[in-house]
Chain A
Amino acid sequence: MLAQVRSWWRALTGRSRLDGEMASEMDSHIERYAADLAAGGVEPGEARRRARIEFGSAAAAAEECREAVGLRWPNECARDLRYAARVLRKSPTFTAAAVATLALCIGANTAIFSVVDAVLLRPLPYPQPERLAMIARYYWGRGESGYGMGTSGRIWEAVRDNATYLDAAVFSDGSKGVNFAAGGRVEYVKQQRVSAGFFRVLGIAPFIGREFAPVEDGKGGPAVTVLSYAIWKRLFREDPAIVGQAVTLRGEPYTIIGVLPESFQGVTPADLWTPLRPSATGEGGGWNYVTVGRLRPGVTWAQADSQMEAVGAPILQKSGSDNVRLRLVSFQRGLTDGLRRPLFILWAAVGLVLLIGCVNIAGLLLARAAGRTREMATRMALGSGRAALIRQMLAESVVLGLCGGAAGAALGWLGVKALKALAQDSLNVWQAVELDWRALAATACVSIAAGILFGLYPALVASRLEIRAALGEAGRGVAGGRNPWPRRLLVASEVALGVVLLVGAGLLIRTFAHLRGLNPGFDAHNVITAQLSLQDARYATSQRVNRLFDQSIARIRELPGVESAAVTLTLPYEFALNSGFQRLDGRHVDTESQIANMYYVTPEYFRVLRIPLLRGRVFTPADNSTAAPAMVVSEAFVKVYLRDDDPLGRHLDLGGGDRREIVGVVGDIQQKSGWGDGRPLAPMPDIYVPSTQVDDKFLQMVHTWFSPSWIVRTTGPPEGVISGMQRAIQAVDPQLPFAGFHSMADVRYRALAQERFQATLLGSLAGLALLLAAVGIYGLIANSVAERTRELGIRLALGATVPQAMRAVALPGVALALAGVMAGSVLAGFASRLLRHLVWGVSPGDPLTFIAVGLGLLAVAAAASFLPALRVTRLNPAETLRQE
């Protein structure tokens, strides 16, 4: 058996050598025989002739030899492919159309697959990634369920102390840019905060030194840092004696205790790591941590999961939420939580487009097969089997598929580049998105599968023919001579699939329009903002920070064209600080923390953004550090927490004994909601406090996460004050440059980047589907006009009017589209449910979208049907009849 495989492989790989050997072997045979004959007295010329005749056909013998060593199958395939290439070259228009269609469809698939592969399919780059878990809050109720991936400090403490099945660590999601000084050089680097044991849980041993010990991860522990290999190489020239060296991080001294291996890729891109120091209050009061855990050896997921539910139950029950429990999800699943659904939907969409493309080409092939009936019949009459015909036609479609795949890979490469440019932020993943061998292999498989998919049905239909009828017909088009239904069915299904895509895209576009149309709650016109990092040892006290605010605002207000200016911790549309609080008096008194967004602001904040005051008052300069602690809340806050109470005069504890009185209620603004029901934008319960009334510790903490924003309202175009603002801040502190000037309109625009991206991408795919469906209908009708020329000529000659004849050929196209729209609407009704987590402000069954898509498709179908039918007007009955 092995010998046979080896011999077969040798034959396959050395075919020209094999052919040469056979020829010379048989030649010498004939020569020897001729020589023997000549020796027996036959005249040499005659001897040679007789030897040749008696040997028989050397070519046939050689063919038999090749078959004997198992070359029949590959030989026939090679012949089929050669023939297919020749046939396709002969009809360049068809080939170009099919290859272009495939290239677009396969290219889209290749590009999306590259992203899906990098984000969802390729395992995490850590040892035994399948044992890594994330702790999630699973909530359900009202027919909806979902996950929250954040963890609070209290849950983390419970997990750390009680979850024995899990070796867990906790980290702060994302990284932050900080100033880093070492050996006289200053760099802006990315810092991530992780707890002790983080690298152990991931399965990564430091390349040099060690990772954080629990004492370093606790309150008041020594300030230490672990470096990435890249920064160690760049800034320290791979100094082996790195451990123990001192560096300055945002103005504070840190000691280096380790360097990570070169191959290490963090869960977010970072240059160095510092201890997280998790706590149950402050930052730990909200869902600001992310956990990573490794199942201990021998523990199953089910065991660890049920233990996690038990660990979380007391804490989650106390906070009054019934339909929630802790659950373990795979770490990769947790990290990609936000990307998962949009990516799968995109993947499904490009898959649908490919399917439509295949159906389209299948239709073209069917039309071509009609023109090749005689060729097929002749070949069958000459003894070719049906299987051989099917194989031959499949070879053609596979060649088409491969050509389309090659062009598609090139388009996919461009697509990957475009996707990376479009969605740099949301694709910020640990593995590079690139067109690698995995994507290419997938493309090749898709191309061949597509070739078979669109080739098989036409091949089956075309090879089922009556030889005598086909040959006898002599190519004369008899009206309805061929069964038109296979192709009609294809066109209708194309329309149906197009409806699914168009409805999906329509829903996302409507969602985007809804979100964009939401009242922002403030006036974004003529407002500019800039950020400033205050993660700096020089701004560790409230006094220093507020002096900076006062002085810079005073200078900015003097600039020509400036109406008002303020500072806020975070802007509308940004993720805000989540803060815990307890209600102290009134109808509701809390024993457990509630959650709201919290901002410190300077007094003019509400004026700059023109957020309306509904009750009470807003802050004034009199609300200073010595005045009674005051706060302003949003309308949504009142609705959620003080519904049937008088908000003014109520007192809240914002944690750590920070008691405040509500002095005013302002209108809502739209926020990115980090919690709640997951809608992308919503008015959240907001708490505003004066920047003068927050303590040093709070400021230091929040400035590690947020860079405060200066907001300036101008009388004219806001871009005019940029240089003035820069000069103003320089005059106060020459070492503080503003970064990232954006108009508020721009902030608003960027807040919907993901929704815009999804709507654009799905919209273009749906447009492609619509185009393909239109081309399919057009081709069908054009073909039927061509086939029925004679019949139409007779009709016209017998007195039918041109409009009547046009209707006769075009109406089937519209009827098919109608059938496709109806079937597609049913399909879309199911498919749109998959979109329900991405659709806001419209229902997934939105009748307007369905009706608009249906009517739009019918209109396109009508145009695609009547356009080719116009050819009827150019028909000259007398001429067409004479031609036959």
Chain B
Amino acid sequence: MGKQVDILQGTLDMLILKAVSLGPLHGYGILLRIQQVSKDALQVPQGSVYPALYRLEHRGWIAAEWGESENKRKAKYYRLTAAGRRQLKSERQEWKRLALAIADVLAAEPEEV
């Protein structure tokens, strides 16, 4: 296991949107997918997934429905809505701009300032 990074405030929403954009998932599945894709680099506090999910659902970016899980148990599955897709796109662009800007700041040499 590599070094774990606490996720930035506000980025959890974006990560969840990305996770469910690949296919409907239940809460635990979302958590696993984020950890798996980030190769365990990102550590999401388990309890914090749910408020984020309810917030996203409240805003209409994801939709939930009850379905059967792999082991024949009822589970609540979340999927991305059209509005969520647009939101994810804009958040991703925002993130890229932010990341570029931060990279620029960090790469600045004394003579450039």
Contacts and interface: CB of A to CB of B under 8 A. Distances in A.
Report whether chain A binds chain B. yes
Interface of A: 3-4, 7-8, 11, 21-22, 24-26, 28-29, 32-33, 54-58, 60-62, 64-70
Nearest to A25: B76
Given A56-B45, A67-B51, 11 more contacts: A3-B59, A7-B60, A11-B58, A28-B26, A29-B46, A33-B46, A55-B47, A57-B47, A61-B50, A61-B51, A69-B57
Interface of B: 26-28, 31, 45-48, 50-55, 57-60, 69, 73-76, 83
A29 B59 CA distance: 23
16 contacts: A24-B74, A25-B27, A25-B75, A26-B50, A28-B69, A28-B74, A29-B28, A29-B31, A29-B46, A33-B28, A57-B47, A61-B51, A64-B50, A65-B53, A66-B54, A68-B54
Contacts of B55: 68-69
B46 A4 contact: no
Contact of A58 (B47, B53, B73, B74): B47
A62 B74 CA distance: 19
Contact of B58 (A8, A24, A32, A57): A8
Contacts of B74: 24, 28
Contacts of B76: 21, 25
B47 A61 contact: yes
A55 B52 CA distance: 14
B31 to A, nearest CB: 8
A464 B31 CA distance: 48
A29 B51 contact: no
A244 B28 CA distance: 87
A-side binding surface: helix, strand, loop or mixed?
Answer: helix
A7 B46 CA distance: 24
A25 B65 CA distance: 12
Residue from A24, A56, A61, A66 having most chain B Cβ neighbours under 10 A? A61
B47 A65 contact: no
Residue from B51, B53, B69 having most chain A Cβ neighbours under 10 A? B51
B30 to A, nearest CB: 10
A70 B60 CA distance: 14
B76 to A, nearest CB: 5
Contact of A7 (B28, B31, B50, B58): B58
Nearest to A57: B47
Contacts of B26: 25, 28-29
A72 to B, nearest CB: 12
A8 B57 CA distance: 11
A48 to B, nearest CB: 14
A55 B28 CA distance: 11
Contact of A68 (B51, B60, B69, B73): B51
B58 A70 contact: yes
B73 to A, nearest CB: 7
A69 B46 contact: no
A25 B60 contact: no
Contacts of B53: 65
B28 A32 contact: yes
A60 B50 contact: no
Contacts of A8: 58
Nearest to B76: A25
Contacts of A67: 51
Given A7-B58, A21-B76, A25-B76, A65 B51 contact: yes
Which 8 A-B pairs rank lowest in CB-CB distance, beginning with the nearest? Answer: A3-B60, A64-B51, A56-B47, A68-B55, A65-B54, A61-B47, A68-B54, A29-B28
Nearest to B60: A3
A319 to B, nearest CB: 77
Contact of B48 (A4, A11, A21, A61): A61
A58 B51 CA distance: 11
A26 B55 CA distance: 16
Contacts of A28: 26, 28, 69, 73-75
Contacts of B47: 55-58, 60-61
Contacts of B75: 25, 28
A74 to B, nearest CB: 14
Nearest to A11: B58
Nearest to A60: B47
Residue from B52, B57, B58, B76 having most chain A Cβ neighbours under 10 A? B58
Nearest to A8: B58
Contacts of A56: 45-47
